[in-house]
């Protein structure tokens, strides 16, 4: 198997904290390379990411990498966050533009992930290993896939070391994307983001928002299971495990699992991968 990593979101309540603790403990045996924690929109003071990084590093012994976004505020506020993450021992950052929460008009001083990568390099040199986002099925706000690819290349040239993809269920989209960026001279590793399926209506909602396509054959089969959640889980795990096998056989350098802070859906896929 290739190296794996797990993504969590930062809990805000005691109950969510306990859930993250249980999930982090249950995933431990799979010895991930690192885990990452998303950055909630709304500014650094509202984000619980630093607290979760501290918890996952201190209490669970994980190499925990924070996500950081342009929504982290002004340059000064982002500078503060970088200082905090260095002090917490972080050496890897997942660097993104983020999305504006509804009702918010200005994202801060930086507009695109490429500007944030550039800023982090200028502020901290080579201290951080920087991951950026990639979209094999195109970012939903991009003008077209060619423009999206050009923007991706710009983001890498600004100083990214690696990329993690938006989730997808169509392996060919990933292989084509990698071929395209290699043709454009980009050599960094591109790690597929894997979204296990355990609750189909939730995945469908996410996919509508982020532009990930659910192939018709998967959607039809899921619909046929109706309320039979065991069959949904079993079929979902089999489909995603098969996708992972294809990706690894085709050269994917690692796999990054979107856990949604639940252990079981990810474990169901990993157990099938052996
Ligand atoms: P960018 O790379 O800046 O691209 C955004 C859009 O702008 C694209 O359409 C691109 O083509 C276009 N663009 C880029 N540069 C230019 C330019 N110079 N001129 C014109 N157009 C341009 N969101 C969060 O809020 N918190 C998280 O923790 C988080 N984690 C994520 C982790 C992963 C692995 C992924 C794949 C996504 C994550 N997201 C997160 C979601 C992400 O923030 C959104 O998808 C967001 O809309 C785009 O972020 P980006 O970094 O890809 O943006």
Residue 102, H or E segment: none
- Whether residue 112 has its Cβ less than 6 Å from ligand 1: yes
- Whether residue 97 has its Cβ less than 6 Å from ligand 1: yes
To test the ligand 1 pocket, which listed residue (42, 98, 136) has its Cβ within 8 A of the most ligand atoms?
A: 98
Q: What confidence tier does 200 reach under pLDDT thresholds 50, 70, 90?
A: very high
Q: How many domains does the chain have?
A: 1
What is the model's pLDDT at position 44? Answer: 47
- Whether residue 141 has its Cβ less than 6 Å from ligand 1: yes
Reduced to 3 states (helix: H, G, I; strand: E, B; else coil), residue 134 is strand
What does the pLDDT average to over 176-192?
A: 98
Q: Which atom of ligand 1 is nearest to the CA of 41?
A: 25
Please write the tens of the pLDDT for every residue from 212-256.
999 999 999 999 999 999 999 999 999 999 999 999 999 999 999
Active-site residue 7, yes or no? Answer: yes
Give the domain range for residue 252.
4-273
- Whether residue 248 has its Cβ less than 6 Å from ligand 1: no
Distances (CA, A) of 261 to 91, 197, 209, 246: 22, 13, 20, 25
**Is pLDDT of 101 > 90?**
no
What is the model's pLDDT at position 45? Answer: 53
Supply φ then ψ for residue 112, to 5 degrees: -130, 160
Provide the token pair at 88: 């917490």
- Whether residue 96 has its Cβ less than 6 Å from ligand 1: yes
Which residues lie below 8 Å from residue 122, measured CB to CB, with a gap of 6+?
Answer: none
Integer Cα distance of 140 and 133 in angstroms: 13
Q: How many CB atoms lie within 10 A of CB 144?
A: 8
What is the model's pLDDT at position 152? Answer: 98
Integer Cα distance of 249 and 80 in angstroms: 42
Q: 45 CA to middle of ligand 1, Å? A: 21
What is the model's pLDDT at position 106? Answer: 64
Q: Which atom of ligand 1 is nearest to the CA of 132?
A: 51
Integer Cα distance of 126 and 248 in angstroms: 29
Question: Which residue, judged by its Cα, is nearest atom 2 of ligand 1?
Answer: 113
- Whether residue 49 has its Cβ less than 6 Å from ligand 1: no
Q: Which atom of ligand 1 is nearest to the CA of 139?
A: 9
Extended strands (E) in 114-168:
129-134, 162-167
Please write the tens of the pLDDT for every residue from 33-92.
999 999 985 544 567 999 999 999 999 999 999 999 998 789 999 999 999 999 999 999
Here the CATH number for the domain that contains residue 8 is: 3.20.20.220
Q: Which atom of ligand 1 is nearest to the CA of 9?
A: 28
Reduced to 3 states (helix: H, G, I; strand: E, B; else coil), residue 156 is helix
* Residue 52 backbone class (left: φ over 0; alpha: ψ -120 to 50; beta: rest): alpha
Residue 36, H or E segment: strand 34-37
Q: 37 CA to middle of ligand 1, Å? A: 16
DSSP string, 202-258: HHHHHHHHHT----HHHHHHHHHHTT-HHHHHHHHHHHHHHHHHHHHHTT---EEEE
Integer Cα distance of 233 and 12 in angstroms: 27
What does the pLDDT average to over 167-188?
A: 98
């Amino acid at each position: 198997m290739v190296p794996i990593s797990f993504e969590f979101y930062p809990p805000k309540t005691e109950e969510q904290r306990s859930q993250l603790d249980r999930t982090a403990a249950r995933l431990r045996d799979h010895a991930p390379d690192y885990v990452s924690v998303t950055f909630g929109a709304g500014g650094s003071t509202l984000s619980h990411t630093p607290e979760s990084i501290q918890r996952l590093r201190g209490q669970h012994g994980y190499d925990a990498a924070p996500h950081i976004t342009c929504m982290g505020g002004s340059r000064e506020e982002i500078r503060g966050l970088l200082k905090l993450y260095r002090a917490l021992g972080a050496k890897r950052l997942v660097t993104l533009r983020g999305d504006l929460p509804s009702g918010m008009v200005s994202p801060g001083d930086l507009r695109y992930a490429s500007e944030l990568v550039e800023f982090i390099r200028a502020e901290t040199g080579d201290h951080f290993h920087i991951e950026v986002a990639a979209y094999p099925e195109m970012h939903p706000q991009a003008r077209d896939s060619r423009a999206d690819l050009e923007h991706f290349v710009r983001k890498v040239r600004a100083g990214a070391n690696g990329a993690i993809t938006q989730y997808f269920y169509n392996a060919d989209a990933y292989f084509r994307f990698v071929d395209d960026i290699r043709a454009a001279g980009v050599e960094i590793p591109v790690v597929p983001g894997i979204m296990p399926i355990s609750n189909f209506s939730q995945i469908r909602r996410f996919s509508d928002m982020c532009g990930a396509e659910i192939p018709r054959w998967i959607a039809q089969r899921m619909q046929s299971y109706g309320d039979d959640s065991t069959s949904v889980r079993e079929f979902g795990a089999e489909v995603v495990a098969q996708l992972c096998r294809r990706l690894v056989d085709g050269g994917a350098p690692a796999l990054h699992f979107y856990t949604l802070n639940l252990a079981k859906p990810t474990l169901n896929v990993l157990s099938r991968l052996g």
